[in-house]
Structure 1
Amino acid sequence: MKVIKLVEIIAIDELQFQNYIDSWHNQKERISPSSCETGTISFQKWKETQLILAQEDNHPAGMVRAETLFLIEDNGYIIGAINLRYAMTEDLLKFGGHMSFGIRPEERKKGYAFIMIKLALNRLRVNGITKALVTITRDNKPAQRTIRKIGGKLENAYESKGNVIDRYWISL
């Protein structure tokens, strides 16, 4: 039986992380959550930046406390990632919400997103969030199904840059 768990960024190995990122690039897909994009910085520098963002009071102006967690197997293989935000800005209320998430392309349609989000919702709850906002582009049907399965209720939708964005709330 495969054992999976949600872990903090400090538990992530550079080789496994690069393998995870490569799986997105090999499919020519944009990495989700975007917090996993390293750009041109080293893995270590990226990790340090993410750890700063996770601190209560030490994040750049205009940013909120956020942390990226990873759904992994016991051997360190990364299945997916989720970025949690513990406060809202006007921009996050429109697009982004309390979480953004992604499952590596070859691991989709196996129920991992549901498991990862359920585990992450506990983390939001412990940090005082009672309702979590998730925004999803209308064409992302798998994410919409997952959020509805978890209990997400569609509040409204709006158009942005040619995309329809659906706003779901999940009661914790």
Structure 2
Amino acid sequence: MRGKVISKLKLVFPSEEYKNQIISYKEEFILNNDSMDGTSNLISYENIDEWLEKLKRNLKEETVDKGLVPATTYLVIREDDKRLVGMIDIRHKLNDYLLNFGGHIGYSVRKTERRKGYATEMLKLSLEKCKELNIEKVLLTCNKEKIPSAKIILYNNGILENEIKNGDKITQRYWINLKF
């Protein structure tokens, strides 16, 4: 873990209350030409209200978009100043693509909040949510060249199963056993 978490974090389901922060989060990623992992495709939505409605539909098998699996997206809020520092998407189950390349959890931390230990804490909080969803084994993936991501997974008891060629990149697949 690079940095020490300087503040307690909480996971919050996105709502109107955080609309301006969500817009700011998206703008920061666009400005930095950064990948918005774990945001349930926020980058594609001009209208945040439509994105918020999509997140509600994503919660259930009956209403999730065709080809996708049910998932819960969370805002990661720093408790002391209520700032949105990251986002997490927890897929309730895996399809073929997620089994090979995506995993159960996707997440991102805004650039201005990186190297503070937040991603490690975010993954820990995500694993607690996975337990609540009765997911006994959690799959996490990362690109092989993203060494900090691999370290975060390993710190949270991830065990490397294998590596899969994904175009010109290599995807590492890690499992975390939550069954005790």
Q: How far did residue 35 of structure 1 move?
A: 1.3
- What is residue 132 of structure 1 aligned with on the other side? 138
1:10 aligned to which of 2, 15, 18: 15
Q: What's the TM-score, normalizing by structure 2? A: 0.89
Structure 1 distance, partners of 2:149, 2:120, is 9
1:145 aligned to which of 143, 151, 157: 151
**Shift in CA distance, 11/143, structure 1 to aligned 2, threshold 3 Å:** farther
List structure 1 segments (4+ residues) > 6 angstroms apart after TM superposition. Answer: none
Unaligned runs of 5+ in 2: 1-5
Alignment of 1:145-164 (within 5 A): 145-164=151-170
User: Identity rate of aligned residues, in percent?
Assistant: 28
- What is residue 51 of structure 1 aligned with on the other side? 56
Do the aligned residues in 1 keep the contact of 2:39 with 2:88 (CA within 8 Å)? Answer: no
Q: How far did residue 152 of structure 1 move?
A: 0.3
Do the aligned residues in 2 keep the contact of 1:83 with 1:99 (CA within 8 Å)? Answer: yes
Q: Which has the higher contact order (CA 8 A, sep 6+)?
A: 2
Q: How far did residue 56 of structure 1 move?
A: 4.6
Name the aligned partner's letter for residue 77 of structure 2: I
- 1:76-120, Cα deviation, whole Å (9 max, x unpaired): 311011100011111110111101111111111111011111111
Q: How far did residue 53 of structure 1 move?
A: 0.3
Alignment of 1:61-80 (within 5 A): 61-74=66-79, 75-80=81-86
Do the aligned residues in 2 keep the contact of 1:38 with 1:46 (CA within 8 Å)? Answer: no
**Shift in CA distance, 44/97, structure 1 to aligned 2, threshold 3 Å:** same
Structure 1 distance, partners of 2:17, 2:89, is 14
1:60 aligns with 2:65: yes
Do the aligned residues in 1 keep the contact of 2:71 with 2:90 (CA within 8 Å)? Answer: yes
Structure 2 distance, partners of 1:105, 1:46, is 22
Structure 2 distance, partners of 1:24, 1:9, is 18
1:23 aligns with 2:15: no
Name the aligned partner's letter for residue 129 of structure 1: I
Q: How far did residue 141 of structure 1 move?
A: 1.1
Q: How far did residue 41 of structure 1 move?
A: 3.6
Q: What's the TM-score, normalizing by structure 1? A: 0.93
Q: How far did residue 23 of structure 1 move?
A: 1.4
Question: SS where residue 122 of structure 1 aligns?
Answer: helix
Is 48-57 or 98-107 further displaced after alignment? 48-57
1:98 aligns with 2:104: yes
Structure 2 distance, partners of 1:80, 1:87, is 22
1:110 aligns with 2:86: no
How many residue pairs get aligned? The number is 172
